[in-house]
């Protein structure tokens, strides 16, 4: 792996011995090695998401080999396989809720520093989709929105949408032009973009980890229509309207745009959910225990 080409275990162990860290964090299994595992009283192995699954078996093997060597040296046949030499422990974490279950890891989500912005009294657009517009799953999400758009226009003639994100693929630009949407390929402030729309959508079919677009929309006070996949990384019960099937995307958008009370309910519940679980302050005690 590229990360592993940047050091040798011997030199890494030497440097970490000098530093004497309380905790070493290995970001993905590609940055994990026996030297890392032995370098601190506690090691955080952050899987990030399930893309680490194929490499996880290698990690398990390394842990078992270290434990076996320690047992031979100490004559102890009851060494914890999760503990590296020196008596420390390996804490497994991942950002997505469903990934945590799949990887037997602790759920430690992405957090946001965004605070609810002032929502314009008359937003310029009805619907917002935001994300990296060259990323294939986001391109697919824009396609799904386009497929739902005839239903939206049938029930809300004149409805508008804004698609925002860096490096829009040609397919995205074509869909925006075809449906008369507004494209914002570059923007300085997500809060300003969010204030231009009544609701946000995240009709993603493929996801991994946690969806920052869903966190940011909730933090900025936008009610949302999302797919189940977009919520997979979040704690169950995250406040949003869920379109479980592709043919439900349009109806859910129309229903939410037509229901001011539901918008207000989701806006309040979303910002409260962010305050409880998705700001750094919510994880202070966890970090303190780690140290």
Query: Could you tell me the pTM of the whole model?
Result: 0.82
Q: For the domain that residue 192 is a member of, what is the CATH number?
A: 3.40.50.2000
- Which three-class secondary structure state does DSSP give residue 92? strand
Q: What percent of the chain has pLDDT over 90?
A: 60
DSSP H helices, 163-278, are 170-179, 190-194, 212-219, 228-231, 249-257, 260-277
User: 41 and 73 share a domain?
Assistant: yes
Q: Which residues make beta-bridge pairs with 129?
A: 163
Q: Is the pLDDT higher at 85 or at 140?
A: 140
User: 98 and 216 share a domain?
Assistant: no
User: 133 and 267 share a domain?
Assistant: yes
User: 147 and 216 share a domain?
Assistant: yes
Distances (CA, A) of 278 to 113, 114, 159, 194, 215: 9, 10, 32, 18, 8
User: 76 and 184 share a domain?
Assistant: no
User: 261 and 135 share a domain?
Assistant: yes
Give the tens place of pLDDT for each residue, 148-203: 999 999 999 999 999 999 999 999 999 999 999 999 998 888 998 999 999 999 99
How many structural domains does the chain have? 2
Residue 226 has pLDDT above 80, yes or no: yes
User: 150 and 92 share a domain?
Assistant: no
- Which three-class secondary structure state does DSSP give residue 290? helix
Q: How far apart are CA 143 and CA 147, in angstroms?
A: 6
Q: How far apart are CA 77 and CA 205, in angstroms?
A: 47
Give the tens place of pLDDT for each residue, 78-131: 333 344 444 468 899 999 999 898 888 999 999 999 876 555 557 899 999 999
Domain containing residue 26 = 2-108
Give the tens place of pLDDT for each residue, 47-70: 888 776 555 555 554 554 455 445
User: 149 and 202 share a domain?
Assistant: yes
User: 164 and 233 share a domain?
Assistant: yes
User: 37 and 165 share a domain?
Assistant: no
Tokens describing residue 231 = 């919520």
Q: How far apart are CA 120 and CA 222, in angstroms?
A: 11
Q: How far apart are CA 56 and CA 52, in angstroms?
A: 6
User: 183 and 267 share a domain?
Assistant: yes
The pLDDT of residue 203 is: 97
The pLDDT of residue 66 is: 54
User: 199 and 134 share a domain?
Assistant: yes
Whether residue 284 lies inside any domain: the answer is: no
Whether residue 117 lies inside any domain: the answer is: no
């Amino acid at each position: 792996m590229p990360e592993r080409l940047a050091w040798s275990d011997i030199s890494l162990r030497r440097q970490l011995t000098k530093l004497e860290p309380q905790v070493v964090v290995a970001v993905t299994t590609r940055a994990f090695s026996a030297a890392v595992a032995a370098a601190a009283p506690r090691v955080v192995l952050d899987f990030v998401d399930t893309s680490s699954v194929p490499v996880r078996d290698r990690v398990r093997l390394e842990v078992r080999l270290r434990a076996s060597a320690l047992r031979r040296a100490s004559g102890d046949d009851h060494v914890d396989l999760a503990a590296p030499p020196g008596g420390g422990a390996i804490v497994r974490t991942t950002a997505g809720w469903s990934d945590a279950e799949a990887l037997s890891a602790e759920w430690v989500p992405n957090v946001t520093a965004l605070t609810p912005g002032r929502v314009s009294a008359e937003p310029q657009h009805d619907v917002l989709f935001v994300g990296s517009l060259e990323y294939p799953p986001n391109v697919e999400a824009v396609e799904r929105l386009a497929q739902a758009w005839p239903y939206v226009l049938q029930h809300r003639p004149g409805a508008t949408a804004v698609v925002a994100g860096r490096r829009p693929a040609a397919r995205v630009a074509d869909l925006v032009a075809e449906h008369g949407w507004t494209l914002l390929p570059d923007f300085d402030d997500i809060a300003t973009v969010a204030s231009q729309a009544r609701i946000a959508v995240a009709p993603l079919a493929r996801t991994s980890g946690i969806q920052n677009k869903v966190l940011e929309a909730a933090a900025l006070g936008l009610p949302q229509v999302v797919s189940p996949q977009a919520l997979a990384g979040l704690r169950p019960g995250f406040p949003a309207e869920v379109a479980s099937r592709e043919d439900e995307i349009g109806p859910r958008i129309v229903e939410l745009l037509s229901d001011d009370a539901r918008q207000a309910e989701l806006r309040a519940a979303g910002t409260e959910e962010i305050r409880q679980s998705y700001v750094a302050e919510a994880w202070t005690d966890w970090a303190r225990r780690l140290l």
